[in-house]
Amino acid sequence: MSDLFWPVVLGFLGAIVGSFLATVAVRWPKGRSALRGRSLCDACGQSVAPQHLIPLVSGVLLRGRAACCGAQISRLHWQIELGCAVVGALASLVVPGPAGLAVAGIGWLLALVVALDATELWIPDVLTGAIAISGVLSATILPPTLGERLVGGAAGFGALWAIGFAYRRLRGQEGLGGADPKLFGGIGLWLGWRTLPPVLLFAALIGLGIVAWRAATGRAVTRDDAVPFGAYLALAAYPALLLMIGLVA
């Protein structure tokens, strides 16, 4: 079997999954289900023809505009499709074969976290719950051990909860979103406790880098600005997971 078989398969599957997750990211915050009804144009509500639903390809052929009304298609669609394709391909390179699907799966869930938190500052409990449950179940096929994962889950949740509690007591206002400790706990159930410190550091550096870029481009930055720290945690967690599994393997 060609060395490119699994990267191509999971990359292609990732683009398809990304197309669905992009719909979820657009509809879920509005209280609409992505599982019911045909694909509809975000702008005019008309049904989208099947030939215009090909991940990545249709957006390029349509030049980023809806065929039905000419409205600009949200960049979120191609961004999530491309991101999920890359996630799938990278997973198969680190864990070739069917087991790579589990690694890709958590990457796809984290991609949805990034999309929802970056656009809506919202991470649903059902999403963090899915990350946590899959983290426990995947211990049967992937490192680290279940014991390290359970400690990681408790440490991840406890650390961010404690930081948020201390900030609230000192400043009298919320400093962390309520979903961030849950997300970090779920990440700990995938990575174990040893990898959590570098993930937290990398997430903080991502946030600082974005703030620095905004300041450098003339955008206003204040100490009270809300930031999607959950998205930064998700962005930091997936490469850390790939690196950890690659080193163990």
pLDDT for residue 215 = 85
Q: Are residues 34 and 89 in the same domain?
A: yes
Whether 38 has a pLDDT exceeding 70, the answer reads: no
Q: Are residues 81 and 143 in the same domain?
A: no
Q: Are residues 84 and 11 in the same domain?
A: yes
* Residues 188, 152 contacting (CB under 8 angstroms): yes
CA distance linking residue 128 with residue 33, whole number of Å? 18
Whether 209 has a pLDDT exceeding 60, the answer reads: yes
Which domain, by its residues, includes 155?
A: 123-249
The residues with which 65 forms a beta bridge, in sequence order, are 72
**Does the global pTM surpass 0.85?**
yes
The residues with which 72 forms a beta bridge, in sequence order, are 65
Q: Are residues 131 and 248 in the same domain?
A: yes
Q: Does residue 63 lie within any of the structural domains? A: yes
Q: Are residues 135 and 246 in the same domain?
A: yes
Q: Does residue 104 lie within any of the structural domains? A: no
Q: Are residues 138 and 246 in the same domain?
A: yes
Q: Are residues 152 and 90 in the same domain?
A: no
**Alpha helix ranges (H) inside the chain:** 5-27, 57-61, 75-94, 100-120, 125-137, 146-171, 179-191, 196-216, 229-248
Q: Does residue 82 lie within any of the structural domains? A: yes
Q: Does residue 57 lie within any of the structural domains? A: yes
Question: How many structural domains are present in the chain?
Answer: 2
* Other Cβ atoms within 10 Å of 99 Cβ, number: 16
Q: Does residue 18 lie within any of the structural domains? A: yes
Among residues of the chain, what percentage have pLDDT more than 70?
Answer: 97
Region of 104 on the Ramachandran plot (φ > 0 left; ψ -120 to 50 alpha; else beta): alpha
